[in-house]
Structure 1
């Protein structure tokens, strides 16, 4: 599945669950929550935690958690793309053009 197909799949999944109609500020709240969870996963992978309630897991399990949280962040971004009728390709093109212009690369 490519990213546009995944976007369509996520949108349909959220629509079927009744989650798609949530307001932008609620969606932004979910995105912020997912970024926080990504931050925790990266901190765990990079530095570990010394907390008595945490069980010890393998580095692969920690990395898998980073993948999970990155996917959650991506899905929230894709939902915003759909909401504002922005193609993923437009996002990629904009990012590349902005960075190339900012740093004068080609």
Structure 2
């Protein structure tokens, strides 16, 4: 699935559930929440959680958790971009051009 297809799928899926009607400040709050969950998943994958009240997870399960959290971040980024009529492709292209201009190829 390319970036534009993914963005349209997210918009439709979230929209059907009433999850896409939030304004930008609420959406950024959700994005920050998911970013924190991604940080937690990275920590668990890299160094573990070292908590006796949590069951140890396999390496595969830890990676799957990380994949899912990164997906949640991407979903919220997609919806935030959509609020401003920005495609993910447009955002990535602008990012790429900025970096190439700043640092060269």
Q: State TM-score, norm by structure 1.
A: 0.93
The answer for the alignment partner of 2:101 in structure 1 is: 101
* Structure 2 residue aligned with 1:58: 58
Task: Quote the offset at 1:23 in angstroms.
Answer: 1.5
RMSD of aligned Cα (Å): 1.0
Cα distance between partner residues in 2 of 1:30 and 1:69: 12
- Corresponding position of 2:39: 39
Partner of 2:86, secondary structure, is: coil
How far does residue 2 in structure 1 lie from its aligned partner after superposition? 2.0
Looking at structure 1, the residues matched to 3 and 94 of structure 2 have their Cα atoms a distance apart, in angstroms, of 16
Q: Which residue of 1 aligns with 2:81?
A: 81
Q: Quick one: distance in 2 between partners of 1:67 and 1:94?
A: 25
Kindly indicate whether the alpha-carbon contact (under 8 Å) linking 2:44 and 2:62 is maintained by their aligned counterparts in 1. yes
Distance (whole Å) between structure 2 residues aligned to residue 9 and residue 87 of structure 1:
13
Unaligned runs of 5+ in 2: none
- Tell me which of the two structures has the higher relative contact order, counting C-alpha pairs closer than 8 angstroms and 6 or more residues apart: 2
The answer (yes or no) to whether the contact 2:7–2:87 under 8 Å persists in 1 is no
Instruction: Tell me the matched-pair count.
Output: 105
Structure 2 counterpart of 1:90: 90
Q: Which residue of structure 1 aligns with residue 49 of structure 2?
A: 49
**1:60, distance to aligned residue in structure 2 (A):** 1.0
